[in-house]
């Protein structure tokens, strides 16, 4: 055993010292022969005789060397190296072919590698700085009667933490934004409200100062401390080494900076890079509303758990579900019908992993299509070339090359092509790894953070793709050499344009496959495009044009409630007085924004909720004229006026769905609704509109007067035909007249707001369209290649037809009909495939059937027009065949 190993090592080492060993060998043999000659001379032979006798008894110097070499190195590796060298020479000899083939493969493999890197960096391992992220799961609540996941309350979370033994730690991480003013510069920043165990639990250690200490997440506004990100420290604080202990105003409250997070740590939220972290005790200051840490009914937490080693998700889910059951029994008022669900990170519903998941799943399928199309193209190129190399192959067979050896040579060339393709592809992936962000507009001046990750898994997968491509490419020459016969190869045979015998079917088959795959992608792109248009044209129930949305940041400027109220009144008067402004209003939450509306338990006289369910309804706090400004029609009653203030009776406006559900056809005006223990009188009914997402079903919703439920962080809505830029200038003038230090948010139309909320659809459309276009281009190249080749090989037939009286238009029709025939076959196959596959688009489609005729029809038109264009040049060339020359050659 040891000797075998020694031998192998020795042989391996020999591969790298060939030249020296070769010299050694020659020297040793020469010295042997010289000694033999000398001995023979000593025996009295002549010089000539002595030499001949020495060589005779040695027995063939070259054979000995050959035997010696076989013993010395590893013959298999050496032939492979030889194949590689030869392959490289062949590729170098036809650079046009090689470049085209490598380009095709680069695009095919690059698309795969780029999507792999996104899947890895966004779905599977989104937090590289976090230790053992495979043990992390996302946690959400569930509520009977509600479709999607819900959030979790702080007291519930503490109870879970106490009763779950399989879970190592619960990590609270709630994203929020604030305006950061450092020096004279103010900008919107994203931060997280976290539990005190946050940094310890995820294994990220601040490079300066400390993380949070146990107990810092307890008490109302009790611990104004913050850990800042590395980028914030380097950028806004200029890397100040004395930063620890300094203070920074965050949302109006001075926080002590206790730590700086390490470089490369961006928090634990897919989509946004966090710039600072505060403990949960500061929640009220950032979240607004009320103090929620002791309110079991206030659900606001997004969180993760870290499993103990060896625990599966199912086990943990069972344990935590049992705990939720106990809470249901102990606190029926707040927890009836409430459960908990654990999700793998890639399904995290509350960040962009959830929103991008369906798109990325589709992309994984799409890139496989692109790869197949690229391989088909290269396969076709190889076929053409192997035809041209038939002579070479035949000669090599004739002088005794084994067929397997020949195949190996061709296979090595395929491997070389795909290896170059893979290298180029990884370069493409490297450039594209952060490209997803480009498809999302920045919100409030903050760009999204969606980094791809190229780690060993992505590299391994790409290598796998490269191998698959090699195998696919290797099939072509394998089919070729199978029926390579020595005698036949020297006879020239010319393929026919129509029908075409022999190997033409492989090429035609490849083209049909390409066309059908591209057709499927075109249909997919068409369906997604239609959905996007439908979504964007859906009426959200409020005006999207001529209404602008902005905000003035009073919270981070340190305004108290009273000062904020009088500021809002004054600003509203000034804005309404601006020329071109029809109306203006404040409201706490903008519809279709990222943040969620507050929800609350309600009670209505004479209404009994179904057993096991709770009457939880979302609401918004809005100022006078809000509905009119937003363009939400009133069905009956009135909306809020300036009279609905702190001193007036509590009022509410409900939407139609809520009226129908809770008052069942009776007129709710004048009826009472209880919200958080306070009774309010319904004064109006508004039409339904979209609140959180364009795609949501109508749901109960109500409005309460901003004055009676005051929030300093309110949005400002302005109805005006003027452009956002004009208003922004005027608005900033008015705001600075009131307070020169205030920072303004960007001014956008509600249409822009709507568009931003549909960016996942936009991403899907863009990606599928780009790759669909790429596929179409590759297929067109494939079709063009096949047709030009058929024409160039069929010159004799074309010439004959011409000589027999066919005119140019006959020939044109002949070639075009063959090309379009192939396309037609591909379209039929593709349509069958598309019918089976488009259902997979599922949730990405919006009010569009997966069998939508418009999408299929337009894909058909695009495909046929492209195919016709691709065939035109070869067909035109066919009409210029010179019959005399064609027949003579």
34 scored as a contact of other proteins (CB under 8 A): yes
* Nearer to other proteins (CB atom), residue 41 or residue 800: 41
Backbone angles phi, psi at 840, to 5 degrees: -65, -15
Q: Given the complex with other proteins, which of 28 and 134 has the nearer CB atom?
A: 28
- Residue with smaller CB distance to other proteins, 71 or 539: 71
Query: Comparing C-alpha atoms, which of 613, 646, 729, 634 is closest to residue 685?
Result: 634
Q: Which residue, 39 or 99, has its beta carbon nearer to other proteins? A: 39
Q: Give the binding range for other proteins (CB under 8 A) out of 35-43, 346-354, 456-464, 673-681.
A: 35-43
Nearer Cβ to other proteins (74/100): 74
Task: Give the shortest CB-449-to-other proteins separation in angstroms.
Answer: 57
Helix axes 504-537, 352-388, angle to 10 degrees: 160
Least distance from C-beta 17 to other proteins, angstroms? 14
- In terms of CB distance, is 11 or 851 closer to other proteins? 11
User: Is the CB of 68 or the CB of 745 nearer to other proteins?
Assistant: 68
Q: Which of 20, 26, 35, 643 binds other proteins (CB under 8 A)?
A: 35
Applying CB under 8 A, does 404 fall inside the site for other proteins?
no
CB atoms within 10 A of CB 246: 11
23 near other proteins, rule: CB under 8 A: no
17: contact with other proteins by CB under 8 A: no
HSE (CB half, 13 Å, CA atoms) of 102?
21
Distance, in Å, from the CA atom of 883 to the CA atom of 889, rounded to the nearest integer, reads 10
Q: Of 63, 247, 539, 636, which lies in the binding site for other proteins, with binding defined by CB under 8 A? A: 63
Of the two residues 77 and 561, which places its CB atom closer to other proteins in the complex? 77
Pick the binder of other proteins from 15, 41, 45, 61 (CB under 8 A): 61
The residue (of 14 and 166) whose beta carbon lies closer to other proteins is 14
Is the separation of the CB atoms in 209 and 259 below 8 Å?
yes
User: What dihedral do alpha carbons 59, 60, 63, 66 form, nearest 10°?
Assistant: 100
Q: Is 401 left (phi over 0), alpha (psi -120 to 50) or beta?
A: beta
Considering only the stretches 29-37, 410-418, 771-779, 860-868, report the one whose residues sit in contact with other proteins under the rule CB under 8 A: 29-37
Dihedral of CA atoms 58, 60, 63, 66 in degrees, nearest 10, equals 60
847 pairs with which residues across the strands? Answer: none
**CA 364 to CA 357: how far, in whole Å?**
11
Q: Is 15 in the site for other proteins (CB under 8 A)?
A: no
- The string of DSSP codes covering 275-299 is -EEEEGGGHHHHH-SS--TT-TT--
Point out which span in 69-77, 621-629, 717-725, 747-755 binds other proteins (CB under 8 A): 69-77
End-to-end CA distance of the chain: 66
Instruction: Locate 201 and state its tokens.
Output: 């639990």
* Contact residue for other proteins among 17, 20, 28, 402 (CB under 8 A): 28
Identified binder of other proteins from the candidate list 26, 47, 67, 447, rule CB under 8 A: 67
Q: Which of 854, 845, 761, 774 is nearest to 517 (CA)?
A: 774
Q: Which of 16, 31, 75, 649 binds other proteins (CB under 8 A)?
A: 31
Tell me: does residue 254 bind other proteins (CB under 8 A).
no
Closest CB 56 distance from other proteins, rounded Å: 10
Q: How far apart are CA 34 and CA 42, in angstroms?
A: 12
Q: Tokens 């032939």 — which residue? A: 79
What is the dihedral angle through the alpha carbons of 768, 769, 775, 778, rounded to the nearest 10 degrees? -150
Q: Per CB under 8 A, which region of 59-67, 496-504, 562-570, 790-798 contacts other proteins?
A: 59-67
Please list the residues that pair with 250 across neighbouring strands.
253
56-64, 171-179, 604-612, 642-650 -> range binding other proteins (CB under 8 A): 56-64
Candidates 303, 327, 57; CA nearest to 202 is 303
Shortest spacing between CB 14 and other proteins, in angstroms: 9
Q: Which of 18, 22, 29, 656 binds other proteins (CB under 8 A)?
A: 29
Distance CA 187, CA 444 (A): 9
Task: Report in angstroms how near the CB of residue 401 gets to other proteins at its nearest.
Answer: 23
* Residue 136: CB minimum distance to other proteins, A: 53
Select the span of 21-29, 110-118, 123-131, 517-525 touching other proteins (CB under 8 A): 21-29
Based on the shown chain and the rule CB under 8 A, indicate whether residue 59 belongs to the binding site for other proteins. yes
Buried b (16+ CB within 10 A) or exposed e, 610-645: eeeebbbbbbbbbbbbbbebbbbeeeebebbeeebe
Q: Identify which of residues 29 and 496 has a Cβ nearer to other proteins in the complex.
A: 29
Q: How many residues bind other proteins (CB under 8 A)?
A: 29
* Phi, psi dihedral angles at 719 (to 5 degrees): -95, 120
Q: Smallest gap, in angstroms, from Cβ of residue 60 to other proteins?
A: 6
Tokens of 861: 């038109």
State yes or no: residue 24 binds other proteins (CB under 8 A): yes
Q: Which is nearer to other proteins, 25 or 407 (CB)?
A: 25
Q: What angle do CA 696, 697, 699 make, to 5 degrees?
A: 105
- Classify residue 633 by its DSSP letter: -
DSSP designation for 841: G
One residue of 18, 64, 88, 509 binding other proteins per CB under 8 A: 64
Report yes or no: 411 and 477 within 8 Å, Cβ to Cβ: yes
Binding segment for other proteins (CB under 8 A), chosen from 33-41, 378-386, 587-595, 627-635, is 33-41
Residues 555-594 that bind other proteins (CB under 8 A): none
Distance set, CA 45 to CA 35, 40, 51, 203 (Å): 14, 6, 9, 87
Among 32, 205, 408, 756, the residue binding other proteins under the rule CB under 8 A is 32
12 is a site residue for other proteins (CB under 8 A): no
Instruction: Count CA atoms within 13 Å of residue 26 on its CB side.
Output: 6
For the bound state, the minimum distance from the C-beta of residue 30 to other proteins, rounded and expressed in Å, comes to: 9
Q: Closest by alpha carbon to 587, among 761, 734, 705?
A: 705
Q: What is the largest CA-CA distance in the chain?
A: 138
38 near other proteins (CB under 8 A):
yes
- Report helix, strand or coil for 680: strand
Task: Give the separation between CA 648 and CA 708, rounded to whole angstroms.
Answer: 9
Please select the residue that binds other proteins; options are 6, 20, 666, 736, rule is CB under 8 A: 6
- 70 lies in the site for other proteins, by CB under 8 A: yes
Contact pick of 18, 41, 53, 58 for other proteins (by CB under 8 A): 58
Q: Are strands 616-622 and 634-637 parallel, antiparallel or unpaired?
A: unpaired
Which residues contribute to the site for other proteins (CB under 8 A)? 3, 6-7, 10-11, 24-25, 27-29, 31-32, 34-36, 38-39, 57-61, 63-64, 67-68, 70-72
């Amino acid at each position: 055993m040891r000797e075998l190993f020694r031998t192998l090592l020795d042989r391996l080492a020999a591969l790298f010292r060939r030249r020296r060993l070769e010299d050694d060998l020659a020297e040793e043999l020469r010295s042997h022969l010289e000694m033999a000659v000398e001995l023979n001379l000593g025996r009295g032979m002549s010089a000539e005789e002595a030499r001949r006798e020495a060589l005779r008894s040695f027995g063939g110097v070259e054979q000995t060397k050959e035997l010696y070499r076989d013993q010395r190195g590893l013959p298999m590796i050496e032939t492979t190296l030889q194949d590689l060298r030869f392959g490289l020479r062949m590729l170098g000899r036809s650079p046009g072919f090689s470049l085209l083939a490598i380009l095709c493969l680069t695009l095919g493999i690059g698309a795969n590698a780029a999507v792999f890197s996104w899947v890895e960096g966004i779905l599977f391992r989104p937090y590289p700085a976090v230790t053992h992220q495979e043990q992390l799961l996302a946690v959400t609540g569930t509520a009977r009667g509600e479709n999607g996941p819900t959030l979790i309350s702080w007291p519930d979370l503490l109870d879970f933490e106490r009763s779950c033994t399989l879970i190592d730690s619960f990590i609270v991480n709630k994203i929020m934004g604030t305006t950061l003013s450092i020096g004279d510069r103010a900008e919107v920043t994203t931060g997280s409200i976290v539990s005190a165990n946050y940094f310890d639990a995820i294994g990220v250690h601040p490079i300066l100062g400390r993380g949070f200490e146990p107990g810092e997440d307890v008490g109302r506004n009790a611990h104004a401390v913050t850990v800042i990100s590395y980028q914030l420290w380097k950028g806004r604080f200029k890397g100040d080494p004395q930063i620890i202990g300094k203070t920074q105003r965050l949302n109006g409250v001075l926080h002590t900076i206790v730590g700086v997070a390490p470089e490369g740590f961006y928090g634990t939220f897919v989509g946004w890079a966090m710039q600072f972290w505060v403990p949960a005790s500061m929640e009220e200051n950032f979240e607004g509303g009320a103090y929620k840490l002791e309110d079991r009914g206030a659900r606001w937490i997004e969180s993760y758990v870290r499993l103990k080693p060896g625990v599966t998700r199912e086990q943990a889910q069972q344990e935590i579900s049992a705990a939720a059951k106990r809470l249901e029994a102990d606190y029926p008022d707040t927890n009836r019908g409430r459960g908990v669900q654990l999700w793998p990170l890639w399904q995290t519903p509350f960040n962009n992993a959830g929103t991008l998941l369906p798109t990325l799943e589709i992309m994984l399928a799409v890139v496989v299509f692109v790869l197949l199309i690229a391989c088909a193209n290269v396969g076709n190129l190889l076929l053409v070339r192997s035809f041209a190399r038939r002579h070479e192959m035949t000669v090599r067979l004739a002088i005794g090359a084994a067929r397997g050896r020949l195949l190996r040579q061709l296979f090595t060339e395929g491997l070389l092509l795909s290896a170059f393709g893979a290298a180029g592809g990884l370069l493409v992936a490297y450039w594209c790894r952060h490209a997803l962000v480009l498809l999302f507009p920045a919100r409030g001046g903050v760009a999204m953070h969606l980094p791809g990750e190229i780690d060993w898994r992505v590299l391994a997968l790409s290598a796998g793709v490269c191998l698959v491509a090699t195998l696919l490419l290797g099939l072509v020459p394998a089919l070729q050499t199978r029926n390579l016969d020595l005698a036949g190869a020297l006879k020239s045979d010319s393929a026919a344009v129509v029908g075409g015998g022999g190997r033409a079917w492989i090429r035609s088959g490849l083209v049909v496959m390409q066309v059908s795959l591209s057709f499927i992608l075109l249909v997919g792109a068409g369906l997604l495009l239609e959905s996007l248009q439908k979504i964007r044209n859906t009426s959200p129930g409020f005006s999207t044009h001529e209404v602008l949305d902005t905000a003035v940041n009073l919270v981070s400027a340190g305004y108290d409630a009273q000062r904020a109220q009088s500021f809002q009144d004054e600003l509203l008067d000034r804005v309404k007085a601006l020329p071109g402004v029809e109306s203006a209003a404040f409201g706490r939450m903008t519809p279709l924004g990222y943040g969620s509306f507050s929800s609350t338990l309600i009670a209505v006289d004479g209404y009994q909720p179904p057993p096991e369910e709770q009457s939880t309804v979302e609401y918004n706090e809005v100022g006078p004229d809000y509905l009119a400004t937003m363009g939400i029609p009133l069905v009956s009653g009135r909306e809020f006026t300036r009279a609905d203030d702190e001193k007036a009776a509590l009022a509410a406006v409900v939407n139609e769905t809520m009226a129908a559900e809770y008052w069942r056809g009776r007129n709710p005006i004048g009826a009472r609704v209880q919200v958080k223990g306070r009774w309010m009188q319904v004064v109006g009914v508004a039409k339904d509109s979209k609140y959180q997402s364009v795609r949501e079903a109508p749901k109960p919703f109500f409005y309460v007067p901003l004055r009676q439920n005051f929030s300093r962080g309110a949005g400002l809505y302005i109805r005006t035909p003027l452009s956002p830029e004009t208003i922004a200038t005027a608005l900033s003038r008015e705001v600075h007249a009131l307070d020169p230090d205030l920072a303004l948010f960007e001014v956008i139309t509600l249409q822009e707001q709507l568009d931003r909320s549909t960016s996942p659809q936009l991403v899907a459309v863009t990606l599928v369209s780009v790759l669909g276009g790429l596929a179409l281009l590759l297929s067109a190249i494939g079709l063009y290649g096949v047709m030009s080749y058929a024409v160039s090989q069929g010159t004799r037939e074309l010439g004959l037809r011409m000589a027999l009286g066919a005119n140019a238009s006959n020939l044109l029709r002949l070639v075009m009909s063959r090309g379009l025939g192939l396309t037609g076959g591909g379209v039929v196959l593709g349509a069958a495939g598309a019918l089976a596959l488009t259902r997979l688009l599922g949730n990405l489609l919006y009010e569009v059937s997966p069998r939508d005729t418009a999408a299929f029809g337009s894909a058909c038109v695009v495909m046929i027009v492209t195919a016709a264009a691709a065939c035109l040049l070869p067909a035109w060339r066919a009409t210029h065949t010179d019959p005399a020359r064609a027949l003579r050659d």
